[in-house]
Structure 1
């Protein structure tokens, strides 16, 4: 019987691609007085390239932007601070996020988030999405000092909710960090299809939309 559902954040609940595009366009507009010598499309495009889907932390990204575009009126530290404090205002949820969470809460599932990343930044992103109160626990790798796909972070999440692996499902977009990591501790898994990654063939189910999750959980109960 499924009692608990755990979610990855970026690429699963948070549409990070859309959020980054919205944020970096707004940053350019907000700081135009300092960035006006750079074409807006060039600033947006280069940030996205350097960001590498979040795999390069923003101190490096902004240092490279300042050097490449010869930004003299604003330091990379100031740009980074703007990112850290303003990104949460541009968090874009995937379709059906709130509908799905409402259904799962109504059906009595325990819910958790297990995400890699920096504690304060990920906390702000969760708050920016407006989903904090749906979740019984939230584990962030920097705070936990262990990260996916290490078994410990998955086991710690289950322990805190008082559930075992057969009672638990993990939903994520990354084939290794999310799906393979959760499978190693015997959790059932749902892969949210992503164009950025090869198909997670070992997942127990594959979805395109978050709205598919309640039906899949019902099917898991029957298996």
Structure 2
């Protein structure tokens, strides 16, 4: 079957996510230092400990990153003496500062040209466990849909996000391929749902997953040729 739908992971597939998250965390800390000095001076490990406690009590929050961060901030603020009402307001302010910085992204050089080229021929979608919004990134016009774990209530590598993508795209599993950097979340998850999977591996890492990807690329510009090769085989 020929490929009709291509779904993409976002973080570390369309951009390098490490500097993005570092910038977002820094923006949040700066906001807290300015507006809540008592919390802003606490070590970041304090917030991670609170986050761990919340996740231990509610494991399902691992797929709801925004809510998890808000709750972590609220509990931390209450812990240094802020009222419940003030904690809610201050946590939201810190979260919005983080979220704004989280969308200051530098795409890989081949991201936009590749999406432009592929969108002419294929339907494109997003499947992400993160909370980046393609609308805020200026990419929405390329994608037919964007699925995030927070909205679905479940994330990769569970088959459900991939099966939902097939429904949204109106295709069978044999007509879809997923591209991502994570061996378990992206490649094994897609394969278990019946999709083909292409491993985005710009750093040349050794494969560590169970099921091999159907293809491996070091740059997104290689993607059209992989798809064209598959089309010739069919």
TM-score, normalized by length of structure 1?
A: 0.73
SS in 2 for 1:138: strand
- In 2, are the aligned partners of 1:88 and 1:128 still within 8 Å (CA)? no
- 1:185 is matched with which residue: 190, 193, 196? 193
Q: Residue 13 of structure 1 aligns with which residue?
A: 14
Alignment of 1:111 onto 2:124: yes
Q: Residue 221 of structure 1 aligns with which residue?
A: 231
Q: Residue 92 of structure 2 aligns with which residue?
A: 81
Structure 1 residue runs of 5 or longer lacking an equivalent are none
SS in 1 for 2:194: coil
User: What is the correspondence of 1:124-135 to structure 2 with a 5 Å cutoff?
Assistant: 125-135=133-143
**Count of equivalent residues:** 213
For 1:83 and 1:34, how far apart are their aligned partners in 2? 9
Q: What RMSD, in angstroms, separates the aligned Cα atoms of the two structures? A: 3.8
- In 1, are the aligned partners of 2:187 and 2:197 still within 8 Å (CA)? yes
Return the offset for 1:104. 0.8
Provide closer, same or farther for how the CA distance between residues 99 and 184 of structure 1 changes in structure 2, counting only shifts above 3 A: same
Larger radius of gyration: 2
Return the offset for 1:31. 4.7
- In 1, are the aligned partners of 2:181 and 2:201 still within 8 Å (CA)? yes
- In 2, are the aligned partners of 1:28 and 1:35 still within 8 Å (CA)? no
SS in 1 for 2:12: coil
Alignment of 1:211 onto 2:221: yes
For 1:37 and 1:48, how far apart are their aligned partners in 2? 13
